[in-house]
Amino acid sequence: MSGKGEPEEPALAAQVMDLLGRRGQTVAVAESLTGGLVAAELTEAPGASRMFRGSVTAYATEIKRSVLGVDGALLDERGAVDAEVARQLATGVRDLLGADWGAATTGVAGPEPQDGNPVGTVHIAVSAAGTGKVVAQRLNLRGDRAAIRAGTVRAVLALLRDELILPRVEDTP
């Protein structure tokens, strides 16, 4: 943070884009509760057009199933606010848009609970092509709708950055 009250997201997004650029890789994003905010942050980074494939704002549960391939039985059983749904969203958008990496957000920004989940319950995921590795995290965020959405953006970008920093399987002895 610059100390001037500026948000951390642009710097975090720039880190992600720098790491992707160094690897010659791309990313795609599936967003539910963040409604395009992750894509907006990533495209603020200089040179984003080389690494950012695109995004799907899958706000409606039906879009998660029909466009991104989330299992309908899973959605019927657990609802959209679920770690496995986040994993399938990340993998689905990665495959759909032909990216090396997929990132996803799903959760409850409020003002009301959803599918038995309290406001602030969020699941994020990152999916890597080639390895089949998909990492998901559950977040329990506090604050108003804007704060929950902003916290989700920071968290998914941090997760993606951290996964990009980890040594690749082929890089380990």
Give pLDDT, residue 1. 43
Strand partners, 123: 106, 138
Q: Cα–Cα distance between 154 and 86 in angstroms, integer?
A: 16
| Per-domain boundaries in the chain | 9-167
Rounded distance, CA 122 to CA 173, Å?
A: 36
In the block, residue with structure tokens 């500026």:
6
CB atoms within 10 A of CB 16: 28
What is the layout of strands, in order, in the sheet containing 52-57? Answer: 52-57, 27-31, 101-107, 121-128, 134-140
Please list the rounded mean pLDDT of every run of 10 residues in the chain (173 residues).
47 95 97 98 94 97 98 97 98 98 98 95 96 96 98 98 78 41
Q: Taking the model in full, what pTM does it have? A: 0.91
Question: Helix (H) and strand (E) counts for the chain?
Answer: 7, 5
Range 9-167 classified under CATH 3.30.460.80 = no
Structure tokens at 3: 């100390």
